Structure 1
Amino acid sequence: MTYSRPGLGAVLFDMDGTLVDSERLWDVALRELAIEYGGSLSDAARVAMIGSDAASSMRILHADIGQEWRELGPSQAWIARRMSDLFRTGLVWRPGALALLSAVRAADLPTALVTSTARPLVEVALDTLGRENFDVVVAGDEVRAPKPDPEPYLLAAQLLGVPIERCVAIEDSRAGVTSALAAGAAVLGVPSEVPLDPIEGLHLLESLAGVDLTLLGNLLVRAEAL
């Protein structure tokens, strides 16, 4: 498929902390699991998990509470069950996220949801986000190398049939920003739980409130000029 449309070609959205305020829900579940295992999750370990896939997060948790011997599978299953309950009742849109997503869809621009969360939980979240709002969904358990590797964003662009250089990725985490920049997308960072360092190629805003298609298009122009 040859993509010939000029300017902004697609918008690639992260989910947790970017579109929805779900990091606080992950915080609840992860701290509960640490307590279930007789430990206490440190703030440093929790911050290290943000933007990571489930397996990486469980490794961090196990190491943090001194139980590296634990198998990943049972811990991932426990978190998945708890997060499924929390996602059904507690997902809230981040400021400006729904308005921007609606504007992108109204402009008939291709969209992708690119998340480190596993597909079963993504399916629960899509009840809030709207399945019709995304042409492609790339979940954390559907790639060989999750964020911060560029594979998730490269795969999303490939599935959309849009060159990654014509895509804007919207992220809140260091791992996600690293992934999107390495893939070659223009990147808008809207930090949620942890600050993002200003780096070359990253445009930082406090939130998505007021972000429109003109701003996203300008990010591509700036990226091309670098």
Structure 2
Amino acid sequence: MSTETILKAAEAAREAIAANESEIEHLDRAIGDGDHYINIKRGAETIIALAPDLADKAPGEAMKAIAMKLMSTIGGASGPLIASFFLAASKTEGIDEPWTAATVARLTRDGVEAIKKRGKADLGHKTMLDVLIPVAAALEDGAASGEAGDALAERVVATAEAGKDSTRDLTAHYGRAAFLGERAIGTVDPGAMSSFIIIRAICGATR
């Protein structure tokens, strides 16, 4: 996998975010801070705008450049978290070598751990991590067992969907949803929804 593929994934994410605007914004208006859709859309567009500068860079260098740009251009809770993911992934072992399923698993794990550290959240806190943590585990399991291609992509999407759905029955620990308490139960977390939508789009675009 190359920097070209990273940009292809970013374009797929941007299209998926735009296509699901109403669903993401509905959830954010219900229990979020009201700026989630705007911030993730801006993040995807920022990465695409960097394409001419990133095309000739190695994946690690490209991911670091993406992280630095996201840190300076995206507000809200999402910006620093997504930037932390890219910065950690840029340092993953083997990032500039030909990518395998194990490489993708390692960079996802490293990125997710960075989000956990930055946001001080974990599984069960009704956040994007309820999608990202299980997806990272699914990728590691698939890489270890030799699963690859369409089968692994389908399992990752199914795992992401299950993680997203799990947030419906959780109380939140962070943001406006935390102040709602039990009133947030019954509504899917907007960050979990957007994470699922992005993961599904990337899996479809990079098979």
Which TM-score applies when normalising by structure 2?
0.33
Higher share in strand: 1
Structure with higher helix content: 2
Larger Rg: 1
